[in-house]
Structure 1
């Protein structure tokens, strides 16, 4: 795999030898993670889980999510930060000073992927404009994460997840019909942006095998938010009717909603007429399937209110776990509405190995599962500057040079143990 600092760009006609299964699919890949908060760090953590050597470069003030708590797992480390920054080496470099940028130049010389989410213009101000990066490091894959992009009417404007949920239309379709718009309860725009950044990097790496050249992977929270609007975007583009909030119900499928069972909420998702017939049989209301108001999905959507009233009465006295089991046995998707604790301790989540608990570390596993080169979660989360000395030593800095960089404030390094 060509390195970013190669003076000569090579056309690769043969793919490299694949790594051993124990190394991970991305073994040998070097990543500099200059990002903070969520989308960028999540992308870089996925790369690390699959074997990449990820070096997180924090500013002297640190990644602000270190203080996003409680809960905290260490005095300077929140659970929020811990679950986005495992398996990364950590160095602290002040890129606002020339000495810090000299260190970044050295590190970029053998880096494959740069992940960053600086405000628009920051890298250019420091001498790392897009065209300059491409000229100096032709094989570098530069993944940039921003809120709205770097140009256009809102180019360069910062954006957090909830702001983009609002701007991108997601809030407008989330919530009860007679209630206010609500943000989705997880930072879905940030997380999906991280996944799309991960995917874009893999696309760029694949293309680099042919051309030997890197490229810019340009990810914005706005692009992600708008991409998540389906099916509401498709509905508006086809009809011109502005979608409204429907609570847990689906705007074009029925019944597809949450109901109250005897011991809590239950979600039922009926996608076709066969499933609806099975639902009515399990609920012992077979006449509903022959009711002209409910024979087809179109009929059921037109008469959702009447259908819901008929189903609620049949569901209200049934235990939700038993009813969900009976429905799924008949091919009708259904589940109790779990809280977070119920979800993370559920039998299938345990079976899938989605929760990691080493005693010292508790977090979620990589959501990307490969059969031959599976993700290998390395749960350690390094303190700020814990690896500065080792990383600079490997980059060719001797002890005197590192000491001077520390003294000048260009880097911060943990005391040698």
Structure 2
């Protein structure tokens, strides 16, 4: 048994945010049925990079442990099939532009009339209301508009995007939060709901601390590279040989850090004992730390700092962390058995629940792999009816 066993999710979303959310829910036990276009499917099936054999690694990262049914929503019969499946679902996730699902006869109003317990999540770029609601957008557009790109990079350099699809990933987490919150609310009220979740809203909500500085001080937060606006030291420092080490020290760590680095004069300076004073003398403190750290081997220094109780972490590359012994011991890198290419590496969903079976980690579905079974077992269609749908290209 898994935490979400028995929960049915119908997934009309594509590419990243929605599929990421429904993958999380699927691996915790929900039965996720992905609605895809015949012949094409989710467009991320064609996204690079590709595994040997032609399967998209991008698609595989966000669509594990689901079922796929290929249905042509441009046809009346296809729309009816999708409607009938949604009428049985606990949660629906979609990322069409506002009004897109309504054009297919799949609006919240239509579906909730026959399934009043449905949690219907509309994940759009700018929401169902507001002057930008009909705009299209991608991850980096939301990063730019929200101020995230303006905050990212070094002070003397241009703005930079986050190294991950930050807007998509954080929105995916919020879709999952919304689904689970809706289900908990339904348990008490007996009623479903419509969730208007805008990726732009998610990005603005992520501004937390920069916004707090603006509210408190009236300032426009600036790019600070790896440094922290409110703490010194908290930054990446270059060690001997060019490798980087991130050190983040509070007041209790300051004398310990100075001791490891042999900076006895800084340790004796009582005017640097408190973070606020070190922030005011940021340039002086940073210069002294940088000079001392540049003389030290990263491995040796990192071990010495951790032994002294000072928080420190190597700035790893992606291959570094994927091979890290702790990550290996935690089982974060695992493999699923793809029916065509065999064992295929992927990253596990991180939460671990005691008292339940381990979460699922199954291959992403081939396009339309479950169409026949779903039509037969869940919609109760006869073989003749199913054959006719295939022959007309309504399903695949």
Q: What interval of TM-score do these two structures reach, taking the shorter chain for normalisation?
A: over 0.9
Instruction: Work out which of the residue numbers 174, 181, 184 in structure 1 matches 2:162.
Output: 184
Measure, in 2, the Cα distance between the counterparts of 1:126 and 1:294.
65
Structure 2 counterpart of 1:5? none
Measure, in 2, the Cα distance between the counterparts of 1:96 and 1:277.
68
- Answering whether residue 150 of structure 2 is matched by residue 162 of structure 1, we say no
Measure, in 1, the Cα distance between the counterparts of 2:76 and 2:18.
24
Measure, in 2, the Cα distance between the counterparts of 1:178 and 1:396.
64
Structure 2 counterpart of 1:400? 384
Contact persistence 2:86–2:111 (CA under 8 A): no
Q: Deviations over 1:340-392 (max 9, x none)?
A: 00011111111111111356221000122212225423321221111110111
The TM-score with structure 1 as length reference comes to 0.90
Instruction: Work out which of the residue numbers 316, 322, 325 in structure 2 matches 1:344.
Output: 322
Contact persistence 2:2–2:356 (CA under 8 A): yes
- Answering whether residue 231 of structure 2 is matched by residue 231 of structure 1, we say no
Partner of 2:220, secondary structure, is coil
Deviation at 1:73?
A: 4.7
Structure 2 counterpart of 1:171? 149
Q: Alpha carbon RMSD of aligned pairs, Å?
A: 1.4
Measure, in 2, the Cα distance between the counterparts of 1:93 and 1:205.
27
Partner of 2:224, secondary structure, is coil
Matches within 5 A, 1:1-400: 23-60=1-38, 61-75=40-54, 77-263=55-241, 264-270=243-249, 272-291=250-269, 294-358=272-336, 360-373=343-356, 375-394=358-377, 395-400=379-384
Measure, in 2, the Cα distance between the counterparts of 1:254 and 1:340.
27
Contact persistence 1:276–1:289 (CA under 8 A): yes
Partner of 1:411, secondary structure, is coil
Partner of 1:244, secondary structure, is coil
Structure 1 counterpart of 2:394? 410
Contact persistence 1:368–1:375 (CA under 8 A): no
Partner of 1:231, secondary structure, is helix
Measure, in 2, the Cα distance between the counterparts of 1:92 and 1:303.
62
Contact persistence 2:348–2:361 (CA under 8 A): no
Structure 2 counterpart of 1:17? none
Paired residues, number: 388
Structure 2 counterpart of 1:12? none
Structure 2 counterpart of 1:19? none
Measure, in 2, the Cα distance between the counterparts of 1:164 and 1:367.
26
Measure, in 2, the Cα distance between the counterparts of 1:80 and 1:171.
23
Deviation at 1:68?
A: 1.1
Q: Deviations over 1:118-154 (max 9, x none)?
A: 1111111122333222222101111111111022010
Q: Deviations over 1:16-54 (max 9, x none)?
A: xxxxxxx21001111111110101000000011001111
Partner of 1:267, secondary structure, is strand
Question: Which segments of 5 or more consecutive residues in structure 1 lack a partner in the other structure?
Answer: 1-22, 413-417
Q: Bigger CA drift: 123-132 or 79-88?
A: 123-132
Q: Bigger CA drift: 94-103 or 351-360?
A: 351-360
Deviation at 1:292?
A: 5.1
Contact persistence 2:95–2:122 (CA under 8 A): yes
Q: Deviations over 1:279-308 (max 9, x none)?
A: 101111132123255221111111111111
Measure, in 1, the Cα distance between the counterparts of 2:37 and 2:288.
59
Deviation at 1:165?
A: 0.4
